[in-house]
Amino acid sequence: GNSVTQMEGPVTLSEEAFLTINCTYTATGYPSLFWYVQYPGEGLQLLLKATKADDKGSNKGFEATYRKETTSFHLEKGSVQVSDSAVYFCALSRPNAGKSTFGDGTTLTVKP
C-alpha cells in the first residue's frame, strides 16, 4: 500500500537558519506529492506540490523536488522566519485512487 514517512519532530531553529524536513514515500504508479502547512488552530493548507518526477514545487520561499529515484520529496527553505512556525505534512495522492496518504507531521518552531 501507499505510505509516507516524515522526519520526526519537533524541530527548533533560530530565525534565518536553513530548514530541511525529510519526506520519503512508497507508492505504486505515479503519485502526486504535496506539502501542507497547519498553523495553530487552523486546518491544513497547501504549501506546494509536484505532479511528476523532477518537478520542483515552490511557494513562500519553500521548495521541494520530486525525486523518483530516491522516492523523496524533502522540504527546504533557505532562511526561516518566526512566522514559519507550524506543523508541516507531506502527502501523496494517486489519480483516481480517491484519497490521499499523509505523513505524521513535523512541528517546526522558529525562535527569534
Partner 1 sequence: NAGVTQTPKFQVLKTGQSMTLQCAQDMNHNSMYWYRQDPGMGLRLIYYSASEGTTDKGEVPNGYNVSRLNKREFSLRLESAAPSQTSVYFCASSEPGHSPLHFGNGTRLTVT
Residues that bind partner 1 (CB under 8 A): 32, 34, 36, 41-46, 49, 51, 89, 91, 93, 95-96, 98-100, 102-105
CB of 61 to partner 1, least distance (A): 19
6 forms bridges with which residues in the sheet? 23
Give the residue with the Cβ less far from partner 1, 17 or 100.
Answer: 100
In angstroms, the CA 105 to CA 90 distance is: 7
| Backbone torsions φ then ψ of 62, nearest 5 degrees | -90, 145
CB of 105 to partner 1, least distance (A): 5
